[in-house]
Amino acid sequence: MSTTDTIVRVITLPEAGCDPRRAYAEFAFHPAVAPTRPAARVRPAVPAVRPGTASGLTLDLRARLLHRDFGHGRVARYEEVDFPAALTHEPTRRFLRDTGLPEDGVLLQSDTDVPLPTLAEFCADECPDDFWPDELPARAAHLIRLGRFAGGSSLLVDGITGEVLTWSGPAAEPAPLTKDVSTLAFTLWLLRRGRDGTATRRS
């Protein structure tokens, strides 16, 4: 199973309880510890995640949640100069600038060495020599490439709507992945917590 298939399964399988909104509810409101007395106040397990209100995205996700589990060096944050003009969705710009996108070298590698390119710009520089421009998706000038999954697919965000998609290569159509960058980041966080928990149980 590819990396993107894994992420899609985590997001969409109802029996796994890992739709970002459902997973948020389980993680945020399940008590971290049992109260010692009826009046004891129980703190939520994930106090840094809330349903989106202030951010304009699906979730209000605080940067410290990602930095704590991934480390500061594994959360890609961008400056305004890194954004192409095609990225007009302000909540996405703000999230990528202020919160950042986690990467761990296993699931996702972000494009941080150069300004974020549109898919059209990326293919002009990186696609094979026998690649034809008419093989690009129709929205290529409005899709921004954020990075690459371990399986080779490109991670894209729609610069107008903020929707996150994956693209497997020339002649393929982008496939929806998550509603926005907040649900993508939270899903990557869930996957990392799952791997860390498995490693802990095996050790």
HSE of 104, CA atoms in CB hemisphere, 13 A: 18
Tokens 């796994």 found at: 16
Rounded to whole angstroms, how far apart are CA atoms 167 and 154? 5
Model pLDDT for residues 64-86, shown as the tens digit of each residue:
888 888 876 788 899 999 999 99
SS3 197: helix
Q: Which helix (H) or strand (E) holds 177?
A: strand 175-178
The whole-model pTM stands at 0.73
Rounded to whole angstroms, how far apart are CA atoms 25 and 63? 19
Q: Residues 29, 49: contact at Cβ < 8 Å?
A: no
pLDDT at residue 195 in the model: 64
pLDDT at residue 48 in the model: 53
- Residues of the chain whose pLDDT is less than 70? 1-50, 52, 72, 104-106, 128-133, 195-203
pLDDT at residue 63 in the model: 83
